[in-house]
Protein backbone atom coordinates (compact mmCIF):
# COMPACT_ATOMS: atom_id res chain seq x y z
CA UNK A 1 0.00 0.00 0.00
CA UNK A 2 0.95 3.67 -0.08
CA UNK A 3 2.06 3.78 3.57
CA UNK A 4 4.91 1.37 2.87
CA UNK A 5 6.85 4.23 1.29
CA UNK A 6 6.71 6.39 4.46
CA UNK A 7 9.88 4.98 6.11
CA UNK A 8 11.84 5.63 2.91
CA UNK A 9 10.52 9.19 2.68
CA UNK A 10 11.39 9.83 6.33
CA UNK A 11 14.90 8.48 5.82
CA UNK A 12 15.42 10.58 2.69
CA UNK A 13 14.16 13.71 4.45
CA UNK A 14 16.52 13.09 7.35
CA UNK A 15 19.51 12.66 5.08
CA UNK A 16 18.64 15.83 3.16
CA UNK A 17 18.24 17.93 6.32
CA UNK A 18 21.28 16.58 8.17
CA UNK A 19 24.06 18.49 6.29
CA UNK A 20 22.36 21.84 6.83
CA UNK A 21 21.92 21.20 10.54
CA UNK A 22 25.54 20.06 10.90
CA UNK A 23 26.90 23.16 9.15
CA UNK A 24 24.78 25.46 11.31
CA UNK A 25 25.94 23.73 14.47
CA UNK A 26 29.61 23.93 13.48
CA UNK A 27 29.27 27.64 12.67
CA UNK A 28 27.63 28.29 16.03
CA UNK A 29 30.45 26.48 17.83
CA UNK A 30 33.16 28.36 15.92
CA UNK A 31 31.56 31.82 16.06
CA UNK A 32 30.79 32.14 19.73
CA UNK A 33 27.22 30.86 19.67
CA UNK A 34 26.05 32.79 16.62
CA UNK A 35 25.52 31.62 13.07
CA UNK A 36 27.94 32.66 10.37
CA UNK A 37 26.95 35.89 8.64
CA UNK A 38 27.23 36.25 4.89
CA UNK A 39 27.48 39.64 3.18
CA UNK A 40 25.71 39.39 -0.16
CA UNK A 41 25.32 43.15 -0.65
CA UNK A 42 27.64 46.09 0.10
CA UNK A 43 25.34 47.35 2.87
CA UNK A 44 25.53 43.99 4.67
CA UNK A 45 29.34 44.12 4.41
CA UNK A 46 29.24 47.63 5.88
CA UNK A 47 27.18 46.39 8.83
CA UNK A 48 29.59 43.51 9.46
CA UNK A 49 32.56 45.88 9.40
CA UNK A 50 30.74 48.23 11.77
CA UNK A 51 30.07 45.35 14.18
CA UNK A 52 33.73 44.30 13.98
CA UNK A 53 34.90 47.85 14.72
CA UNK A 54 32.48 48.37 17.61
CA UNK A 55 33.20 45.01 19.25
CA UNK A 56 36.62 46.15 20.47
CA UNK A 57 38.14 42.72 19.86
CA UNK A 58 38.14 42.88 16.02
CA UNK A 59 35.47 40.16 15.68
CA UNK A 60 32.05 40.85 14.21
CA UNK A 61 30.36 38.08 16.18
CA UNK A 62 31.33 39.44 19.62
CA UNK A 63 29.28 42.46 20.56
CA UNK A 64 29.63 44.76 23.55
CA UNK A 65 25.97 45.74 23.76
CA UNK A 66 24.42 49.16 23.24
CA UNK A 67 25.04 50.33 26.79
CA UNK A 68 28.83 49.95 26.37
CA UNK A 69 29.25 51.75 23.03
CA UNK A 70 30.73 55.25 23.42
CA UNK A 71 30.98 56.10 19.72
| pLDDT tens for each residue of 9-39 | 999 999 999 999 998 888 888 877 766 677 8
Task: Note whether 44 and 61 are same-domain residues.
Answer: yes
Distance CA 71, CA 69 (A): 6
Query: With pLDDT > 70 as the criterion, what percentage of the chain qualifies?
Result: 82
Which residues have a Cβ under 8 Å from the Cβ of 47 and sit 6 or more positions away? 39
Task: Note whether 31 and 49 are same-domain residues.
Answer: no
pLDDT band per the 50, 70, 90 thresholds, residue 65: low
- Give the phi and the psi of residue 32 in degrees, each rounded to 5: 70, 35
Task: Note whether 1 and 32 are same-domain residues.
Answer: yes
Query: Would you tell me how many other CB atoms lie within 10 Å of the CB of residue 37?
Result: 14
Predicted model pTM: 0.48
Count of the separate structural domains present in the chain: 2
Amino acid sequence: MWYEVLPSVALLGTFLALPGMIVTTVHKINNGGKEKRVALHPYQWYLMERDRRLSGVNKYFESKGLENIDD
